[in-house]
């Protein structure tokens, strides 16, 4: 039986499709008191808005340096879910140094997706520790810092978690293998997030260059909430 939604619900769905900031009003996250509506910090709103507005531009990529428990993975999860929900047949990759870290982000995305109101929630076709596939064909997949984890795939969105803590050799090999593939896809978007970890790593190099306007990344430094 086909579900019929009200005109108001369809109007809200269109508003959410048009802007991820509207979508945030219907996302819930798990807190110490149970599920609660996601109330983003100002920096999270600014970050998500920048991701949205920079799509299909010459500088779509973002790199975020922020301390722990500042909500950087939650912001990425909400944006990834918005993208997967409203754009068909897209592939979003989540890369971490340990598979369990990526799986935790994906788990948070799944919880967020399950808590959406029915007029925003798509059916789930594949649901396991490493993948979530929605009925519109869009997929969110988990991988580790290894060129083979996304080899041959031009991802529509690539989220790299805790990049400053990746092993230097693995990070360099991953960048050499994956970055050129991503660059060949004009509408692709890359998001790097991490807590800082000194200067001798890929994250610092990309962040430093972004801060000086030397690459395609927008640098965001969250010093405090």
Q: What is the pLDDT of residues 91-104, one digit of tens each?
A: 999 999 999 999 99
Query: What's the Cα-to-Cα distance from 130 to each of 104, 149, 152, 188, rounded to whole Å?
Result: 10, 12, 18, 21
Separation of alpha carbons 203 and 114, rounded Å: 33
Q: How far from 16 is each of 19, 26, 100, 192, CA to CA, in Å?
A: 5, 9, 30, 24
- 151: pLDDT strictly greater than 70: no
Is the confidence at residue 131, as pLDDT, over 60? Answer: yes
**Alpha carbon separation from 13 to 57, 85, 91, 137 (Å, rounded):** 25, 11, 22, 19
What is the reported pTM?
0.95
Dmax of the chain from CA atoms? 58
13-30: pLDDT as tens digits: 999 999 999 999 999 998
- Average pLDDT on 163-187 reads 87
């Amino acid at each position: 039986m086909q579900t019929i939604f009200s005109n108001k619900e369809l109007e809200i769905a269109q508003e959410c499709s048009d802007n991820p900031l509207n979508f945030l009003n219907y996302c819930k996250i798990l807190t110490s008191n149970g599920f609660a509506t996601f109330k983003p910090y100002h920096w999270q709103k600014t970050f998500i808005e920048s991701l949205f507005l920079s799509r299909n531009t010459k500088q779509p990529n973002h790199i975020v340096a922020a301390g722990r428990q500042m909500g950087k993975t939650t912001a990425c999860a909400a944006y990834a879910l918005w993208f997967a929900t409203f754009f068909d047949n897209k592939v979003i990759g989540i890369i971490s140094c340990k598979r369990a870290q990526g799986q935790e982000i994906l788990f948070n995305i799944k919880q967020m997706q399950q808590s959406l109101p029915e007029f925003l929630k798509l059916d789930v076709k594949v649901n396991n520790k490493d993948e979530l596939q929605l009925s519109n064909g869009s997929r969110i997949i988990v991988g580790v810092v290894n060129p083979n984890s996304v080899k041959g795939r031009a991802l529509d969105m690539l989220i790299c978690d805790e990049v400053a803590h990746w092993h230097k050799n693995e990070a360099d090999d991953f960048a050499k293998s994956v970055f050129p593939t991503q660059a060949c896809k004009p509408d692709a978007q890359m998001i790097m997030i991490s807590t800082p970890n000194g200067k001798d790593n890929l994250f610092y190099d990309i962040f430093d260059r972004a801060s000086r306007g030397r690459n395609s990344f927008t640098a965001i430094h969250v010093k405090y909430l």
